[in-house]
Amino acid sequence: MVKDLKDELRPLILKHSEEVREFRQKHGSKVVGEVTIDMMYGGMRGIKGLICETSVLDPDEGIRFRGHSIANCQLVLPKIPRGEEPLPEGLFWLLVTGEVPTDDQVKAISREWAKRADLPSHVVTMLNNFPPTVHPMAQLSATLTTLSSQSHFAKAYAEGKPKKLYWEFVYEDAMDLIGKLPIIAATIYRNLFRDGSPVCPIDVKKDWSWNFTDMLGYDDPMFTELMRMYLTLLGDHEGGNVCSHTCHLVGSALSDPYLSYAAGLNGLAGPLHGLASQEVLLWLNKLQQDIGVDVSDEEMHAFIWDTLQSGQVVPGYGHAVLRKTDPRHLVLREFALKHLPEDKLFRLVSQLYKIVPDILIEQGKAKNPWPNVDACSGVLFTHYGMTEMSYHTVLLGISRALGCMASMIWSRALGFPIERPKSMSTTGLKKLCHSN
Amino acid sequence: MAAPVRLFRELFFHSTRCPHREICSGIDLLNGMSKQSTWNRFYKMRQEKGEKSFDWFVKYDDIKESLEQYMPNDCAVQPFQLLDIGCGTSDFSSKLFSDIKASKLLYCIDFSQNAISHLVSLNMDSTTSLDHQIQFIIADATSLPFTSSTFDLVIDKGTLDAVLRNDNGADMAVSAISEAIRVLKTNGHFLQISDEQPDTRFELLQQIAMKYNCQLSVNFKQIDTSFGMEYFIYTINKTVSS
- pLDDT for A316: 86
CA distances from A382 to A186, A190, A223, A232, B47 (A): 17, 16, 10, 19, 45
| pLDDT score of A227 | 98
What's the sign of the alpha-carbon dihedral B119, B123, B124, B130? negative
Cβ distance A320 to B221 less than 8 Å, yes or no, reads no
- In chain A, the residue whose alpha carbon lies closest to the alpha carbon of B58 is A365
Q: Are strands B104-110 and B80-85 parallel, antiparallel or unpaired?
A: parallel
Lowest-confidence range among A221-225, A292-296, B4-8? B4-8
Tens digit of each residue's pLDDT (9 = 90 or more) over A157-173 = 999 999 999 999 999 99
- pLDDT greater at residue B195 or residue B15: B195
Give the one of B30, B209, B210 whose C-beta lies nearest to A361's C-beta: B30
Does the beta-carbon distance from B27 to A358 stay under 8 Å? yes
Closest Cα in chain B to A354: B27
Residue type at B183? V
Reported for B14-23, long-range contacts at CB under 8 A and 24+ positions apart, including other chains, are B14/B40, B22/B48
From A39, A313, A367, residue closest to B227, measured CB to CB: A313
pLDDT over 80 at B169, yes or no:
yes
Chain B hits for A319, CB-CB cut-off 8 Å, are 197, 230
Helix (H) or strand (E) holding A64: strand A62-65
Calculate how close chain A gets to B3, using CA atoms only, in Å. Answer: 32
Q: CB distance from B190 to chain A under 8 Å?
A: no
Q: What is the pLDDT of residues A304-340, one digit of tens each?
A: 999 888 888 888 887 777 888 899 999 999 999 999 9
A429 in helix, strand or coil?
helix
Q: CA B174 to CA B36: how far, in whole Å?
A: 19
In Å, the largest CA–CA distance within chain B is 53
A318 contacts in chain B (CB < 8 Å): 195, 228-230
State which H helix or E strand residue A58 sits in.
strand A55-58
Per-domain residue ranges for chain A?
109-273+389-413, 276-383
Domains and CATH numbers, chain B: 2-48 (no CATH), 60-239 (3.40.50.150)
**Who wins on pLDDT, A376 or A100?**
A100
Range of weakest confidence among A369-373, A389-393, B126-130, B186-190: B126-130
Flag whether pLDDT at A343 surpasses 90: yes
Question: How many angstroms separate the CA atoms of B176 and B143, rounded?
Answer: 7
pLDDT at B240: 79
Least confident of B25-34, B76-85, B128-137: B128-137
CB atoms within 10 A of CB B225: 15
For residue B141, what pLDDT is reported?
96
Closest listed residue to residue A255, CA positions, set A245, A266, A263, A243: A263
> Residues B114, B120, B121, CA angle at the centre, nearest 5°?
90
Q: CB of A234 within 8 A of CB of A401?
A: no
Radius of gyration of chain B (CA): 17
Highest mean pLDDT among A71-85, B21-35, B128-142: A71-85
- The whole-number pLDDT of residue B5 equals 35
In degrees to the nearest 10, what's the CA dihedral of B175, B177, B181, B187? -170
Cβ atoms of A302 and A291 closer than 8 Å: no
- 3-class SS string, chain B: CCCCCCCCCCCCCCCCCCCCCCCCCHHHHHHCCCCHHHHHHHHHHHHHCCCCCCCCCCCHHHHHHHHHHHCCCCCCCCCEEEEEECCCCCCHHHHHHHHCCCCEEEEEEECCHHHHHHHHHHCCCCHHHHCCCEEEEECECCECCCCCCCEEEEEEECHHHHHCCCCCHHHHHHHHHHHHHHCEEEEEEEEEEECCCHHHHHHHHHHHHHHCCCCEEEEEEEECCCCCCCEEEEEEEECCCC
CA pair distance A73, A77, nearest whole angstrom = 5
Q: What is the pLDDT of residues B34-54, one digit of tens each?
A: 999 999 999 999 888 888 899
Cα A268–chain centre separation? 9
> CA-nearest residue of chain B to A301?
B26
For A182-203, what is the mean pLDDT?
Answer: 96
For residue A241, the 8-state DSSP code is S
**8 A C-beta contact, residue A321 and residue A378:** no
Q: Rounded distance, CA A322 to CA A324, Å?
A: 5
Secondary structure of residue A57 in the 3-state scheme: strand
pLDDT per position as a tens digit, B188-227: 999 999 999 998 899 999 999 989 887 899 999 999 776 6
Q: B172-175 long-range contacts, Cβ below 8 Å, gap at least 24?
A: B172/B142, B173/B204, B174/B208, B175/B142, B175/B143
Using DSSP bridges, classify how beta strands B151-157 and A55-58 pair: parallel, antiparallel or unpaired. unpaired
Q: Which of residues 82-141 of B touch A (CB under 8 A)?
A: none
pLDDT at B20 over 50: no
For residue B3, what pLDDT is reported? 39
Instruction: Mutate one of A27, A32, A34 to test the B interface: name it (highest B CB count within 10 A).
Output: A34
For residue B1, name the pLDDT band (cuts at 50, 70, 90).
Answer: very low
Q: Which residues of A are catalytic?
A: 273, 319, 374
Which residue of A42, A358, A361 is in closest CB contact with B221?
A42
Round to whole Å and give the CA distance between B194 and A257.
39
Q: Judge whether residue B161 has pLDDT over 80.
A: yes
Nearest chain B residue to A317 by CA distance is: B229
Model confidence at A206, pLDDT cuts 50, 70, 90, reads very high
Q: Which candidate in A368, A370, A433, A436 is best for mutational testing of the B interface (most B CBs within 10 A)?
A: A368
Q: Please tell me chain A's helix, strand, coil percentages from 3-state DSSP, rounded to the nearest 5.
A: 60, 5, 35
The pLDDT assigned to A278 comes to 84
Question: Which residue in chain B has the smallest CA separation from A324?
Answer: B165
Q: Report yes or no: B220 at the A interface, CB cutoff 8 Å.
A: yes
Would you list which residues of chain A are within 8 Å, Cβ to Cβ, of chain B?
Answer: 31, 33-34, 36, 38-39, 42, 45-46, 57, 59, 311-313, 318-323, 357-362, 364-369
Angle A199-A200-A204 (CA atoms, 0-180°, nearest 5)? 125
Fold adopted by A276-383: Cytochrome p450-Terp; domain 2 (1.10.230)
Q: How many CB atoms lie within 10 A of CB A119?
A: 18
Number of Cβ within a 10 Å radius of residue A162: 7
The beta strand positions in A254-340, using DSSP E, are none
Backbone dihedral angles phi then psi of residue A64, each to the nearest 5 degrees = -115, 125
Average pLDDT, chain B: 86
The whole-number average pLDDT for the span A60-66 is 93
Higher pLDDT: B96 or A312? It is B96
Instruction: State how far residue A132 is from chain B, nearest Cα, in angstroms.
Output: 32
Closest to B57 (Cβ–Cβ): which among A320, A321, A364? A364
Q: How many helices and strands in chain A, by DSSP H and E? A: 20, 2
| pTM for the structure as a whole | 0.90
- Fold classification of A109-273+389-413 is Citrate Synthase; domain 1 (1.10.580)
Mind listing the pLDDT tens digit for each residue in A210-262? 999 999 999 999 999 999 999 999 999 999 999 999 999 999 999 999 999 99
| Residue B132 pLDDT exceeds 80 | no
Determine which helix (DSSP H) or strand (DSSP E) holds A62, and give its type and residue range: strand A62-65
**Residue B102: is its pLDDT beyond 90?**
no
B162 touches chain A (CB under 8 A): yes
Shortest Cα distance from B203 to chain A (angstroms)?
Answer: 7
| pLDDT-above-90 percentage for chain A | 81
Checking if the pLDDT of B23 tops 80, the result is: no
B112 Cβ contact partners less than 8 Å away, ≥ 6 residues apart: B36, B39, B40, B42, B43, B88, B138
Whether B218 contacts chain A with CB within 8 A: yes
pLDDT score at B129: 59
Q: In which element (H, E) is residue A79 found?
A: none
- Contact call for residues B114 and B39 (beta carbons, < 8 A): yes
pLDDT for position B130: 58
Residue B242 pLDDT exceeds 60: no
Interchain CB distance below 8 Å, A368 and B158: no
Chain A interface disruption, residue of B55, B200, B201, most A CBs within 10 A: B200
Is the predicted pLDDT of residue B7 greater than 70, yes or no? Answer: no
Backbone angles phi, psi at A270, to 5 degrees: -70, 140
pLDDT of residue A61: 86
Q: Kindly report the backbone phi and psi dihedral angles of residue B106, in degrees, each rounded to the nearest multiple of 5, phi listed first.
A: -130, 130
Query: Which of the 8 DSSP states describes residue A225?
Result: H
| Contact status, residue A74 vs residue A83, Cβ threshold 8 Å | no
At residue A1 the predicted structure's pLDDT band, cuts being 50, 70 and 90, is: low
Position A3 scores a pLDDT of 82
Beta bridge partners of A120: none
pLDDT at B12 over 70: no
Q: How far apart are CA B88 and CA B55, in angstroms?
A: 8
DSSP one-letter string for A142-181: HHHHHGGGG-HHHHHHHTT--GGGHHHHHHHHHHHHHHHH
- Of A45, A57, A369, nearest to B198 by CB-CB distance is A45
- pLDDT tens digit sequence for A412-436: 999 999 999 999 999 999 999 997 6
pLDDT reported for residue B225: 77
pLDDT band for position A138 (cuts 50, 70, 90) = very high
pLDDT tens track for A82-94: 999 999 999 999 9
Plot region of A415 (φ>0 → left; ψ -120 to 50 → alpha; else → beta): left
